[in-house]
Amino acid sequence: MNWWTSLSKQDTTHERLLGVLLLTLLTLAITFVLPPVADSQLAGGAAIAIVILGLSWLTGWSGQISLGNSGFMAVGAYAAGIWAHHHSTTPLIFTFVLAVVVGGFSGLIVAIPSTRLRGPYLAGMTLAFSAAVTPLAQNFTSVTGGEGGIFMNSLVTPKWFTHFFSGQNAAISANAQWTADLAIVTAGVAFFFMANLFHSRSGRAMRLVRDNDVAAELMGVNLARTRSMAFVVSAAFAGLGGALYSLLEASVRPETFPLTLSITLLTLMVLGGIGTLSGAVIGGIIYSFSANLVAHVNSLTGVNPTSNLGANMQGIIFGVLLILTMLFAPRGLVSLTNPIRRLLRARPHRATANEVD
């Protein structure tokens, strides 16, 4: 039990690395078992989990709310798409770094006026941003390809990887699993970075700003800079997630990033649990299999999936879930595991004075 307690407490960078590594390896192992379709769904979920994590950091740790993260996603996706379209031979890692940098920069631009705003003003401002991104992408046709978007080369599965597979659909299974594994590893790196950020000096400063900004200011925390930093990180995560998402789809189009995507992101974050790593994982998993979930609900209620109601079932379910979670379990699905965690932590291991928090 001792290894688990130390893991779940995640005291040091070393232990956090171990925790994320274990989770990543476990997920990678799962992709070997799942059918190709589920693998591709999981890949999309991993990309969305990165975005949710960025949003969760912003909302849970800095107390700012954003309805603009679908816009940041679009910025990252377009940065990656435009670059990959013209320089198709660039290594993937470079495309990702580019998406992170450009996404973060767009966050900075939104943050500069937004850090002077609170709650509702901020939410409205970011909503206005994400509402403007789609028309901008549609209008600047020469750069963004307009309505049709940009096509990228699909991800190439390396030769050594395909050797694991045999049989009729070997190539298809190999492709699906390679993209899923790639997405999961990327998500793992992002989660490791965020786990460290949560426990860093900035993370603590962020929580203080959220809980009592006057006290934070007295402690010497620069409010505007801290709040902007939260935005930049959140947008960088959204940019990375957006780039990954569009690489999986091998195209960037304006309609991939509608306003409703921001609502979906918010729902998944709240459902999982605001401000936690595991909440973002849960959100990503729910996103991966939301289509199955909706199909299940449709068949349970006897709704024809091709009818109007069936086609809009996902929007209805997500909206209702968001409302119900916020009203009755505002800490999300993660809070359901709290009793188990308490049980695991109850065992005294290294009782030191600094454990009182």
Give dist(CA 223, CA 75) in Å, integer. 26
Collapse the DSSP code of 78 into the 3-class scheme (helix H, G, I; strand E, B; otherwise coil) and give the result. Answer: helix
Rounding to the nearest 10 degrees, give the CA dihedral for residues 247, 252, 257, 261.
-20
Q: CB-based contacts of 270: which residues, under 8 Å, 6+ apart? A: 322, 325, 326, 330, 332
Q: Which of 153, 301, 312, 338 binds other proteins (CB under 8 A)?
A: 312
Could you identify the residue written with the tokens 């770094």? 97
Collapse the DSSP code of 145 into the 3-class scheme (helix H, G, I; strand E, B; otherwise coil) and give the result. Answer: coil
- Residue 309 as a binder of other proteins (CB under 8 A): the answer is yes
Of the listed pieces 74-82, 200-208, 248-256, 259-267, which binds other proteins according to CB under 8 A? Answer: 259-267
From the CB of 266, what's the least distance to other proteins, in Å?
6
Pattern 128-167, other proteins, x by CB under 8 A: xx-xx--xx--xx---------------------------
Residues of this chain, 45-84, that bind other proteins according to CB under 8 A: 59, 63, 65, 67
Of the listed pieces 4-12, 175-183, 249-257, 258-266, which binds other proteins according to CB under 8 A? Answer: 258-266
Q: Which of 99, 102, 127, 174 binds other proteins (CB under 8 A)?
A: 127
From the CB of 29, what's the least distance to other proteins, in Å?
35
Pattern 178-217, other proteins, x by CB under 8 A: ------------------------------------x---
DSSP states of 256-318 as a string? GS-HHHHHHHHHHHHHH-TT-HHHHHHHHHHHHTHHHHHHHHHHHHT--TTSHHHHTHHHHHH
- Residue 228 as a binder of other proteins (CB under 8 A): the answer is no
Q: Which of 8, 316, 338, 347 binds other proteins (CB under 8 A)?
A: 316
- Residue 301 as a binder of other proteins (CB under 8 A): the answer is no
Measured at the CA of 269, the angle between CA 198 and CA 133, to 5 degrees, comes to: 100
- How many residues make contact with other proteins (CB under 8 A)? 47
Stated as kind and residue range, the H or E segment containing 252 is strand 251-252
Give dist(CA 129, CA 141) in Å, integer. 19
In 3D space, the residue among 228, 11, 260 whose CA is nearest the CA of residue 105 turns out to be 228
Tokens of 315: 């929007």
Q: Which of 35, 148, 158, 315 binds other proteins (CB under 8 A)?
A: 315
List residues binding other proteins (CB under 8 A): 59, 63, 65, 67, 113, 116-121, 123-125, 127-129, 131-132, 135-136, 139-140, 214, 259-260, 263, 266-267, 270, 308-309, 311-316, 318-323, 326-327, 330
